[in-house]
Structure 1
Amino acid sequence: MAATGWMDALPVQLEWQRELYRHFHRHPELGLQEHETAERIEQELTGLGLEVIRCGGTGLVTVLRNGDGPTVLARADIDALPVTEDTGLDYSSETEGVMHACGHDLHIAALMGAVRLMAEHRDAWSGTYVALFQPSEENAAGARAMIDDGLVARLPTPDVAFAQHVMPAEAGTIGTVAGPALSAGDSVRITVFGRGAHGSMPHQSVDPVVLAASIVLRLQTIVSRETEPGQFAVVTVGASNAGTTANIIPDRAELRLNLRTYDTQLRQHIIASIERIVRGECAAAGSPREPLFEYYDQFPLTSNDPVVTETVTRAFREHLGPAAVHQAAPATASEDFSHLPGAFGIPYTYWFVGSVPAETYRAAVRAGTVTTDIPANHSPFFAPAIDPTLEVATRAQVLAALAYLPVR
């Protein structure tokens, strides 16, 4: 069977995939709590006659060994978000306050479809296909959990790894990019200390509210004055908390920051600058204690291997048509996928799949209202168009695999 024969078999199973997607959308689960999601994935995989490896709690892997040839790894994330859905879909979330607002439900259904095609057409390819369903991407815990649970020792070492993500772009299209595709992301909780006092006696205090305000203002100079123009960097103060009432000066304040970068050295510089500024402002204020820095939700840089990206892009263009594949710009969001190929020491590529009906998206482009009229990932209104998004995402997984696995 030629590579195009895989695509000929896809329409037969699409209704099964659509129902899988609707099921996962109705029943979202938060990171590391994806117990029912994992059970359903395992049920579907065993129904295809495949063995399932549980790893990292709610993570799952299946390995299709099919003779000599390379080993490829394809990953889908499976967790949802603490978002209350407002899409009006007839398959809306049935779990209060939880929603698949990022498209991971579609990622599951697409990878399941690719697995089924690979399993049912073993006579057409050779090598090893590894499908990995990863929990807890949203809080950067899932990939690490699987690695810490011995993932590397439990699998054949892949030669290359793939992942994809639905985005608020035109459905039916795929965007690829060599080099940085998603930013590194870090969150930091900073606690600064003062000396509490009655609000009527400010001279007896070291006011952490004023201290925190000075820090917030000073942090703005990291990007504007310390980062070379043209380099991408974000330093966001997302929360500032201190005190409980109007007439009491508290003894501490907490700031929560989020950082995004495409460059490892710049990331290190920004972290050092944050700590320098905070310590300096604390010293200037006469703070009685050193500040505390707690780093969490740390996402690695997703930087696509140029050779792998070109190989996969060429396969996409050949089978989907040049008009369906474009060069994407790096996204400022973050991911933990690259921990997985990093643990194996292998190259990877990560691409984007459009999910907005073509006419809707084009109309918004013409009107210049994409950012206001097209719901983005993590929005309570985020609702990928099942068709043709699911089919394209499934094709992409298979085509990427066949770009490396010998076709008989």
Structure 2
Amino acid sequence: MTPTAVDTAPVLAGVPDVLRPAVELYLDVHRYPELSGAEERTAGRLADRLGASGYRVTTGVGGHGVVGLLRNGPGPVVLLRTELDALPVRERTGLPYASDVVAPGGDGQPVPVMHACGHDMHLACAAGAAALLSRSAGHWSGTVMVVGQPAEETLTGARAMLDDGLYTRFAPPDVVLAQHTVPLPAGMVAHAAGPVLAGSAMLQVIVHGRGGHAGAPHLTVDPVVTAAAIVLRLQTVVARETSPADQVVITVGSLHAGTRGNVVPDHATLDISVRAFTQESLDRATGAVRRVVRAECAASDCPAEPVISTVSRSHPTQADHGTAAAVLRAHERAFGPQRVAVWPPSLATEDFPLYGPAGASLHGVEGIRTAYWMLGSVGPKQWAEAPGDSAAAKLAALPPNHAPEFRPDPRLTVPAGITALTSAALAHLDPPGIPEGR
């Protein structure tokens, strides 16, 4: 610990004092999840907790976004980001606090809703860290900014909050920190040496055909056949156009066409996900998808050009090296090196990078540093019961994020998450009495 570093020990000693309210918040939010863009109740619960901890709270930022500010003398502004939204997944955990919520989906039809990605856990840990930092304000100086972001699952929430003046109406941060639950043993954290998460592009493609009778296919242009050819041809973009050293994934997650077996439809719709660890690879693969779609439509003599729309884009999550190293050291002190693991890059994606350099053209603030790490969430009983004799085998067998059986263990995950966020924040705040502008 340097002479100008915050002494974290007396602060972290207060984790038991904020634990019960944080766990209660987790259980409540898990039981009553809300879909992206509809997080009104969840936002209210976070706003209430931040207000009770002495934060100046603003709601309705970029939708249901929540901003809590705690100014505590001169020093850096440290932003702790959490998400609010859940997923259209039917929960199958069997937990006594499992969700049975059903809500209108994007098409207005009712869908089951579940916190299958751990955003409820992130929220509870952020609320707990916020309370702990407030209670220990005598040990640090600076500003803590807690952001509850809506619509992360649709990759629209960060942009919406920034467009609504997150960095102009409030304080532009020096550092932005976030964590994400993963199926590692609870009580652990994990850090990546390079990219943490991939960048992505979500495309929707409409293939135009000419409908008709299934008994007279020669009088039609069958968009189902064209769509099937696109699906198969896209496999070669990774297999034959991408270096084996370059990790790229292309997935056709949805293909819809027609209503009956005896009718050739007049169009088919495909939803396509492209993921890569560098912006260059992402742009190249996305361009290849567009080329393949147009070529297959031309080969089928489709009566109109395909419509290719970009539904969403995200940047690779690449933490600032110095900031990530400081957080890693803080976690090793807080948890012990044996509970800090190495995280291999994941092809999951996030809109978190927009808070930092990747979003500089959007928010106009240069020099923001970011760090992002993984938070173990699997309880000892679930870990022991998972099949496999090695850690790798167990990790492969455990329910991943977005699975109906995904179930963080709150008894161990909440205190670890509070400790991880608090120690990371303290690593970038000043101790009391440091002159401004040091």
TM-score grouping bracket, smaller chain normalisation: over 0.9
- String of CA shifts for 1:124-175, please: whole Å, max 9, x gaps: 1001111111111111121111112111211222111100011111111100
Q: Which residue pairs with 1:103 in the alignment?
A: 118
Q: Which residue pairs with 1:354 in the alignment?
A: 376
Match 1:338 to one of 340, 353, 362 = 353
Gap change, CA 1:386 and 1:332, over 3 Å in 2: same
For 1:314 and 1:200, locate their aligned partners in 2 and report how far apart those are by CA, in whole Å.
69
For 2:214 and 2:318, locate their aligned partners in 1 and report how far apart those are by CA, in whole Å.
51
Q: Which residue pairs with 1:73 in the alignment?
A: 79
Q: Secondary structure at the match of 2:63?
A: coil
Q: CA deviation at 1:200?
A: 2.3
Q: Which runs of 5+ in 1 are unaligned?
A: none
- String of CA shifts for 1:275-298, please: whole Å, max 9, x gaps: 111111111221111110011133
Q: Which residue pairs with 2:45 in the alignment?
A: 40
Q: CA deviation at 1:23?
A: 1.0
- String of CA shifts for 1:231-271, please: whole Å, max 9, x gaps: 11111112222222223222222222111111101111111
Pair 1:366-2:381 in alignment: no
Q: Which residue pairs with 2:404 in the alignment?
A: 380
Match 1:389 to one of 388, 405, 413 = 413
Match 1:257 to one of 238, 257, 272 = 272
For 1:199 and 1:356, locate their aligned partners in 2 and report how far apart those are by CA, in whole Å.
52
Tell whether the 8 Å contact from 1:179 to 1:305 is kept in structure 2 after alignment: no
Tell whether the 8 Å contact from 2:47 to 2:68 is kept in structure 1 after alignment: no
Of stretches 141-150 and 218-227 in structure 1, the one that deviates more from structure 2 is 141-150
Q: Which residue pairs with 2:107 in the alignment?
A: none
Q: Secondary structure at the match of 1:6?
A: helix
Q: Which residue pairs with 1:59 in the alignment?
A: 65
Q: What CA RMSD, in Å, does the superposition of the two structures yield over aligned residues?
A: 1.7
For 1:26 and 1:363, locate their aligned partners in 2 and report how far apart those are by CA, in whole Å.
25
Tell whether the 8 Å contact from 2:92 to 2:404 is kept in structure 1 after alignment: yes
Q: Which residue pairs with 2:213 in the alignment?
A: 198
Aligned pairs, number: 408
For 1:384 and 1:276, locate their aligned partners in 2 and report how far apart those are by CA, in whole Å.
42
Pair 1:24-2:29 in alignment: yes
Query: 1:106-145 counterparts in 2 under 5 A?
Result: 106-145=121-160
Q: Secondary structure at the match of 1:161?
A: strand
Gap change, CA 1:66 and 1:46, over 3 Å in 2: same
Q: Which residue pairs with 1:87 in the alignment?
A: 93
Tell whether the 8 Å contact from 2:200 to 2:282 is kept in structure 1 after alignment: no
Query: 1:111-260 counterparts in 2 under 5 A?
Result: 111-260=126-275
Q: CA deviation at 1:390?
A: 0.6
Match 2:20 to one of 2, 15, 18 = 15
Of stretches 354-363 and 128-137 in structure 1, the one that deviates more from structure 2 is 354-363
Tell whether the 8 Å contact from 1:72 to 1:129 is kept in structure 2 after alignment: yes
Q: Secondary structure at the match of 2:255?
A: strand
Q: CA deviation at 1:363?
A: 6.1
For 1:219 and 1:362, locate their aligned partners in 2 and report how far apart those are by CA, in whole Å.
40
Q: Secondary structure at the match of 2:56?
A: coil
For 1:223 and 1:370, locate their aligned partners in 2 and report how far apart those are by CA, in whole Å.
28
Tell whether the 8 Å contact from 1:3 to 1:407 is kept in structure 2 after alignment: no
Any runs of at least 4 consecutive aligned residues in structure 1 with deviations exceeding 3 A, and if so which? 362-365
- String of CA shifts for 1:194-253, please: whole Å, max 9, x gaps: 222322222222222221121111111100000011211111112222222223222222
Q: CA deviation at 1:311?
A: 0.9
For 1:82 and 1:194, locate their aligned partners in 2 and report how far apart those are by CA, in whole Å.
31
Gap change, CA 1:142 and 1:199, over 3 Å in 2: same
Q: CA deviation at 1:99?
A: 1.2
Q: CA deviation at 1:73?
A: 0.8
Q: Which runs of 5+ in 2 are unaligned?
A: 1-5, 103-111, 433-438
Q: Which residue pairs with 1:301 in the alignment?
A: 316
Aligned partner letter, 2:394: V
Aligned partner letter, 1:217: L
Tell whether the 8 Å contact from 1:178 to 1:305 is kept in structure 2 after alignment: no
Q: CA deviation at 1:94?
A: 4.2
Q: CA deviation at 1:31?
A: 1.1
- String of CA shifts for 1:299-335, please: whole Å, max 9, x gaps: 3221111111111101110221000111211112111
Match 1:405 to one of 421, 426, 429 = 429
For 1:359 and 1:199, locate their aligned partners in 2 and report how far apart those are by CA, in whole Å.
55
For 1:204 and 1:47, locate their aligned partners in 2 and report how far apart those are by CA, in whole Å.
69
Aligned partner letter, 2:424: A
Q: Secondary structure at the match of 2:36?
A: coil
Tell whether the 8 Å contact from 1:178 to 1:304 is kept in structure 2 after alignment: no
For 2:349 and 2:289, locate their aligned partners in 1 and report how far apart those are by CA, in whole Å.
20
Q: CA deviation at 1:12?
A: 1.6
TM-score by length of 2: 0.89
Aligned partner letter, 1:374: L
Aligned partner letter, 1:375: P
What is the percent sequence identity of the aligned residues? Answer: 41
